[in-house]
């Protein structure tokens, strides 16, 4: 056990990945670094922090997650996590104020601690229960939230806090000439259109192209009008410090707030891990990387725990960047480690140019990310099965109308419910044969599903019954007891009751329970 | 009935549930034994006391943030500033000195200003400071920096009469001396009395602000007006020997300083700002 834990916390070394192709790793790292800069800035904006904190997150969370990870998954700032941080901390302090930043660091530290606890409890495997329908629901909901929050920047509204999204749309249409800033709208709309066109031709770099077009559009506008008269919001200087040492605040006052943020920290920790685990699951299926899921849980936990010591906020694995990474044939964590360094170099070089990046262009990319998160073909596929569709629509409805946190909890509960319901429903095939009734059971026989079988048995109490349990792999105590009870009520003189089981182990277990009951066994290897 | 149900679930439900978890509803109760200062107190704590606190509530943390932006602009307000000045270089003693452009003016806004021909709220006033005096870019209305400085300004305005100019507002208006400002004699006075702190080329030294060059305020700033600058110089400069210059000397020095090269007015030179920034970066 202790040895296992030690193996988990050892950092990655090139010798761990024998098939290391340095050139493709480095190229993937460069592309990853270019992609993460606009995302870091936007996600910092979503989390309510100054943009440099997003850059620090892109550097340090990526670095630690890859250093201790085993896969080519790229960590760093994440949409859902950033939104949740913003929602969680907003009630306690004004967005972007020093107190707010301290709370974000505290929250990230708590998230890291919770994730490490999950790692110690070996909880990583439980994330496999999150159903694909719920995940589609969550990503669609987050995409919807992203699109709506990008409207603020694109139309030049000051961040409006409305109860429901349609309030915002109503205000927007009702008072357009007073609210909408035409210059912001021009830049934002051109960015979105450019991104949509680019997506058709070069999907991978669509965001990069969109933000470049938005930037150039801003420059053209700025050569005709001054920023003061346009009131066009610009990114501003990024005071980047290569080693932004900080620490999470400690003290009794912060403890109180920390306790109040605990439910949020728990949700963020779970959602961060869930996303990372889904990515890990995909990578394990698609590639030959030597991935250890538990080690990935540790890597996420330690990355978030270290984040507040380097002015970063919590993050998680990133779907879109990992996908790009995979398409560049990056196979090892080296990509993430190098990418962190490249981000730092790039941002120090690009700093003065990025100052004049219009915020509507960033909001435009946010909208593009949001649109990209709503995957219509995945949603269409859900229409084939009612249960999954119900989980999807409920999750989406809850996220859109009751908030992201509520939606996530509902998604988690629904996934487990769906699993329980599908596990507890039995397939019962009743066939009438010459002298007997054959009841073939498919599914798990346990306390939740036994009732269905009991009803059928009750109906055929006066007939000869062959109970075929040959495809039942799980049979619990209460199920055997229920069958025994049913046997006791049967008319034993004139009918017989035979059971067919799948293995010797189950048969022994069954026989022990049925001692003294008039039951016959059909051998499990007997071909019927 | 249905209406009531909808309201219960969609309006009240998320709120009442949230309230249980949100700190705001019970934080004041818990903090009572821990802190002596609540927002109900009528006496205002001096900023020095606030700085020593390990924990501040939302309002006071914002005030302290505003104070830090004013006194350490290059660190806390860096996002929107473009030169190495601090707010407190002109708003002396962190905006608490009479006739040193004090910041206790929250009660005077909103008001109409000829500078932009609009009725200005305190927010717009602060944002324009970032554009002109700090030669930066205009922050959005809801930028945390703007809100923090606004909070600090209202904090300083405690006790002032709303709608009336506080005593010692701005800088004194110098009487007409009968002569035009003379930059040549201004240079002589500058070299003798100002150059020790502001440098012979107006570049400033450590902890002393530059007066011209690309690191100083731009041509759109209030200080770029000779009469405004002269009033400020007469009332506050040289530091520690204020009001030792004559009115005419102050005017001469102001004329000399403001005829030097400095960043352009962002309203007139549009794209220039970008090139200024990039060249400044490579010159560094």
DSSP β-ladder status, A465-469 and A497-501: parallel
Q: Phi and psi of B160, rounded to 5°?
A: -80, 155
B contact test, residue of A98, A154, A257, A261 with most B CBs within 10 A: A98
pLDDT at A117 over 90: yes
Is residue A231 within 8 Å of residue B72, measured between CB atoms?
no
Closest CA to A52 of A89, A84, A77: A77
Give the residue ranges of DSSP H helices in A48-125. Answer: 51-68, 79-89, 98-120
Q: How many angstroms separate the CA atoms of A355 and A282, rounded?
A: 38
Query: Is residue B238 reached through a cis peptide bond, with omega within 30 degrees of 0 on the bond before it?
Result: yes
Helix H, strand E, coil C: the string for A386-447 is HHHHHHHHHHHHHHHHHCHHHHHHHHHHHHHHHHHHHHHCCEEEEEECCCCEEEEEECCECC
Q: Is B120 helix (H, G, I), strand (E, B) or coil?
A: strand
Cβ-defined contact of A254 to B138 (cutoff 8 Å): no
pLDDT at A154 over 90: no
State which residue of chain B sits closest to A219, comparing Cα positions: B271
Closest CA to A498 of A447, A451, A433, A444: A433
Confidence of residue B5 (pLDDT cuts 50, 70, 90): low
State percent of chain A over pLDDT 70. Answer: 94
Is residue A379 within 8 Å of residue A229, measured between CB atoms?
no
Q: Phi and psi of A465, rounded to 5°?
A: -125, 130
Closest CA to B263 of B222, B226, B219: B219
pLDDT mean across residues, chain A: 83
State percent of chain A over pLDDT 90. Answer: 16
DSSP β-ladder status, B118-120 and A465-469: unpaired
Q: How many angstroms separate the CA atoms of B44 and B172, rounded?
A: 28
B92–A contact, CB cutoff 8 A: no
Cβ-defined contact of A406 to B14 (cutoff 8 Å): yes
- The CATH class given to the A425-522 domain equals alpha beta
Confidence of residue B14 (pLDDT cuts 50, 70, 90): very low
Which member of B58, B141, B273 has the closest CB to residue A93? Answer: B58
| Cross-strand bridge partners of residue A469 | A501
Encoding tokens for residue B60?
């006071």
pLDDT at A196 over 80: yes
Least confident of A48-52, A107-111, B270-274: B270-274
The DSSP H or E segment spanning B119 is strand B118-120
Which member of A92, A225, A237 has the closest CB to residue B270? Answer: A225
- Provide the 10 A C-beta neighbour count for residue A281: 14
- Residues of chain A neighbouring B145 (CB-CB closer than 8 A): 96
pLDDT of residue B283: 63
Length of chain A: 528
Is residue A53 within 8 Å of residue A101, measured between CB atoms?
yes
Q: What angle do CA A274, A137, A85 make, to 5 degrees?
A: 55
Cβ-defined contact of A97 to B65 (cutoff 8 Å): yes
Q: Phi and psi of A234, rounded to 5°?
A: -110, 160
Cβ-defined contact of B139 to A50 (cutoff 8 Å): no
Q: What is the pLDDT of residues B203-230, one digit of tens each?
A: 888 888 999 888 889 888 889 988 899 9
Residues with Cβ within 8 Å of B167's Cβ and at least 6 positions away in sequence, in order, are B98
pLDDT at A287 over 90: no
Q: How many angstroms separate the CA atoms of A141 and B150, rounded?
A: 36
Cβ-defined contact of B79 to A223 (cutoff 8 Å): no
Give me the residue label for tokens 């109040």.
A260
Encoding tokens for residue A51?
């943009």
DSSP character string of A452-517: HHHHHHHHTTTS-EEEEETT---B-HHHHHHHHHHHHHS-TTT--EEEEES-HHHHHHHHHHTTTS
Q: How many angstroms separate the CA atoms of A85 and A26, rounded?
A: 32
Q: Is A294 helix (H, G, I), strand (E, B) or coil?
A: helix
Q: What is the pLDDT of residues B52-88, one digit of tens each?
A: 877 777 788 888 889 999 999 988 888 888 888 899 9
Give me the residue label for tokens 């934080």.
B27
Q: Is B118 helix (H, G, I), strand (E, B) or coil?
A: strand
DSSP character string of A298-338: HHHHHHHHHGGGGT-------HHHHHHHHHTT--STHHHHH
Confidence of residue B4 (pLDDT cuts 50, 70, 90): low
Which member of B61, B78, B268 has the closest CB to residue A97? Answer: B61
Q: How far from the centroid of its chain's Cα atoms is residue B220's Cα?
A: 15
pLDDT at B23 over 70: no
- Residues of chain A neighbouring B141 (CB-CB closer than 8 A): 158
Closest CA to A336 of A313, A317, A356, A361: A317
Give the residue ranges of DSSP H helices in A180-290. Answer: 182-201, 206-224, 227-230, 252-260, 262-286
Encoding tokens for residue A243?
């080693």
- State the average pLDDT over residues B197-203: 88
pLDDT of residue B43: 67
pLDDT at B33 over 80: no
pLDDT at B19 over 80: no
pLDDT at B185 over 70: yes
A contact test, residue of B138, B221, B272, B276 with most A CBs within 10 A: B138
Which member of A94, A401, A402 has the closest CB to residue B144? Answer: A94
Q: Cβ-count burial of A316 within 10 angstroms (0-12 exposed, 13-18 middle, 19+ buried)?
A: buried
Encoding tokens for residue A213?
């077009």
Q: What is the pLDDT of residues A52-93, one digit of tens each?
A: 899 999 999 999 999 888 888 888 898 889 988 988 998 888
B75–A contact, CB cutoff 8 A: yes
Q: Phi and psi of A520, rounded to 5°?
A: -110, 155
Length of chain B: 284
Q: How many angstroms separate the CA atoms of A348 and A342, rounded?
A: 10
Domain ranges in chain A are 24-418, 425-522
Domains and CATH numbers, chain B: 47-156 (1.10.760.10), 183-283 (1.10.760.10)
Encoding tokens for residue A65?
């997650």
């Amino acid at each position: 056990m202790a040895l296992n834990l030690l193996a988990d916390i050892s950092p990655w070394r090139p010798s761990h990945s024998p098939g290391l192709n340095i050139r493709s790793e480095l190229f993937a790292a460069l592309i990853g670094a270019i992609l993460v800069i606009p995302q870091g800035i936007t996600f910092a904006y979503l989390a309510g922090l100054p943009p440099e904190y997003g850059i620090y997150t892109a550097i340090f969370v990526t670095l630690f997650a890859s250093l201790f990870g085993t896969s080519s998954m790229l960590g760093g700032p994440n949409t859902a996590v950033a939104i949740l941080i913003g929602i969680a901390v907003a009630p306690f302090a004004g967005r972007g104020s020093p107190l707010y930043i301290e709370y974000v660091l505290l929250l990230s530290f708590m998230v890291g601690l919770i994730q490490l606890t999950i790692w110690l409890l070996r909880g990583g495997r439980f994330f496999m229960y999150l159903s694909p329908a719920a995940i589609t629901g969550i990503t669609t909901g987050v995409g919807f939230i992203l699109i709506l929050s990008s409207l603020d920047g694109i139309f030049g509204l000051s961040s409006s806090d409305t109860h429901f999204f349609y309030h915002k749309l109503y205000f927007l249409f009702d008072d357009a000439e007073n609210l909408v800033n035409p210059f912001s709208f021009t830049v934002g709309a051109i960015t979105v259109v450019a991104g949509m066109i680019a997506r058709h031709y070069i999907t991978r770099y669509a965001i990069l192209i969109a933000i470049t077009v938005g930037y150039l559009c801003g420059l053209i506008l700025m050569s005709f009008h001054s920023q003061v008269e346009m009131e066009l919001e610009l990114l501003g200087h990024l005071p980047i410090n290569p080693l932004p040492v900080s620490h999470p605040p400690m003290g009794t006052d912060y403890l109180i707030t920390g306790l109040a943020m605990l439910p949020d920290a728990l949700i963020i920790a779970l959602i961060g891990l869930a996303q990372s685990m889904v990515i890990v699951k995909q990578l394990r299926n698609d590639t030959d990387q030597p991935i250890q899921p538990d080690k990935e849980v540790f890597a996420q936990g330690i990355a978030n725990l270290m984040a507040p010591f380097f002015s970063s906020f919590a993050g998680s694995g990133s779907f879109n960047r990992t996908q790009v990474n995979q398409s560049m044939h990056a196979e090892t964590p080296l990509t993430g480690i190098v990418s962190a360094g490249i981000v730092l170099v790039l941002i120090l070089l690009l700093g003065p140019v990025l100052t004049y990046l219009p915020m509507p262009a960033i909001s435009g990319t946010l909208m593009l990310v949001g649109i990209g998160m709503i995957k219509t073909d995945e949603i269409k596929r859900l229409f084939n099965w009612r249960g999954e569709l119900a989980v999807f629509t409920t999750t989406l409805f809850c996220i859109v109308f009751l908030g992201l946190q509520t939606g996530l909890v509902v998604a988690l509960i629904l996934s487990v419910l769906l699993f329980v319901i599908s596990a507890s429903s039995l397939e019962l095939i009743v066939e009438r044969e010459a002298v007997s009734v054959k009841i073939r059971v498919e599914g798990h026989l346990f306390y939740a599903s036994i009732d269905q079988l009991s009803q059928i048995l009750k109906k055929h109490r006066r007939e000869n019954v062959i109970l075929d349990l040959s495809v039942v792999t799980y049979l619990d105590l209460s199920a055997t007891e229920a069958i025994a009870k049913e046997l006791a009520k049967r008319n034993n003189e004139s009918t017989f009751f035979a059971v067919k089981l799948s293995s010797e182990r189950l048969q022994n277990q069954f026989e022990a329970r049925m001692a003294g009951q008039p039951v016959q066994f059909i051998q499990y290897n007997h071909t019927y | 009935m249905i209406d009531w149900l909808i309201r219960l679930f969609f309006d009240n439900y998320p709120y009442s549930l949230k309230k249980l978890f949100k700190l705001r509803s019970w934080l004041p109760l818990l903090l009572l034994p821990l802190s002596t200062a609540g927002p109900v107190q009528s006496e205002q704590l001096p900023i020095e006391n606030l700085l020593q606190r390990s924990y501040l509530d939302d309002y006071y943390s914002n005030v302290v943030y505003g104070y830090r932006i004013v006194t350490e602009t290059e660190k806390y307000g860096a996002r929107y500033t473009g030169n190495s000045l601090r707010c407190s270089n002109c708003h002396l003693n962190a905006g608490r000195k009479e006739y040193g452009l004090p910041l206790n003016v929250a009660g005077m806004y909103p008001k109409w200003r000829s500078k932009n021909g609009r009725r200005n709220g305190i927010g717009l006033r602060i944002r324009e400071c970032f554009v002109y005096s700090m030669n930066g870019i205009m922050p959005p209305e809801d930028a945390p920096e703007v809100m923090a400085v606004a909070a600090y300004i209202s904090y300083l305005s405690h006790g002032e009469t709303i709608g009336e100019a506080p005593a010692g507002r701005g800088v004194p208006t110098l009487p007409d001396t009968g002569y035009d400002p003379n930059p040549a004699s201004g240079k002589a006075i500058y070299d003798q009395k100002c150059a020790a702190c502001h440098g012979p080329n107006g570049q400033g030294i450590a902890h002393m602000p530059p007066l011209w060059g690309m690191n100083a305020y731009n041509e759109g700033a209030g200080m770029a007006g000779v009469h405004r600058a002269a009033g400020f110089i007469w009332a506050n400069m040289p530091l520690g020997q204020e009001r030792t210059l004559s009115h005419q000397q102050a005017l001469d020095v102001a004329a000399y300083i403001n005829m030097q090269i400095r960043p352009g007015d962002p309203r007139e030179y549009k794209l220039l700002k970008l090139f200024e920034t990039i060249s400044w970066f490579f010159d560094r």
